[in-house]
Amino acid sequence: MAESQASGKARAQCREIMTTNVTSVGPNAPIREAAAMMRDGDIGSLPVVENGRLVGIVTDRDIVVRAIAEGADASTAVSTAMTADVFSVKPDDFVFEAIRLMGDKQVRRIPVVSDDGKLAGIIAMADIALEVEDEREIAEALEEISSGSAFWSKK
C-alpha cells in the first residue's frame, strides 16, 4: 500500500472503524454478572454505562485484583472494581488520536463517546489493525502499550 493511502486511513474518523454493537454493564450490576458477560462474549473488558453515559470500564483483571483478591464476593457491585477515570475519543476524532491515546495510556481499547458522554462505540487494537495498514504506526503503538515506557516516563 502506498504511504499516502496508509496515512489517509490513519486520518479516518473514529466513527469509521469503531464497533457500535458494544456489550456494556451497569455500575450496580454484580461482578458475577460482568464476569459471565465477559466469559460469554469472550472479551476482557466492559464499558460501564449508566443511563447511556459512560461512567467507567471494568476488566477481568479489575474484578480479580480490586474485588476478589480484596475479599469481595460475587454480588459486589461492578462500581467497586471499575476504573472511573476512562480515556476516550469522540466519533469525529481521527483514528491516529485513538492510536496515540492507546500508546500513551497503555490500553488496548478506547471507548468512543458522544459530546454528551453517551457511549457510541469502542475501538480495539484489532479494529485499527484491520483498517489502518500502516504497520509501523501500529507496531509503535503496540510497543508503547506493552513496554510500560509511557507510564514509567511520566512524573
Q: What is the pLDDT of residues 9-66, one digit of tens each?
A: 557 899 999 999 999 999 999 999 999 999 999 999 999 999 999 999 999 999 999 9
> How far separated are the first and last CA of the chain, in Å rounded?
39
Length of the chain: 155
Domain count, the chain: 1
134 or 63, which is more confident: 63
pLDDT of residue 6: 47
What is the signed CA dihedral for 102, 108, 114, 115, rounded to 10 degrees?
-30
In a domain, residue 138? The reply is yes
Q: What is the pLDDT of residues 64-118, one digit of tens each?
A: 999 999 999 999 999 999 999 999 999 999 998 998 999 899 888 999 999 999 9
Q: Which domain holds residue 78?
A: 3-146
In a domain, residue 153? The reply is no
Please give the grid coordinates belonging to residue 125. Answer: 487494537
pLDDT of residue 142: 59
We report the CATH number of the domain holding residue 141 as 3.10.580.10
In a domain, residue 73? The reply is yes
In a domain, residue 152? The reply is no
Distance CA 80, CA 10 (A): 36
State the pairing for strand pair 53-59/45-50.
antiparallel
In a domain, residue 54? The reply is yes
In a domain, residue 27? The reply is yes
In a domain, residue 92? The reply is yes
pLDDT of residue 11: 75
In a domain, residue 16? The reply is yes
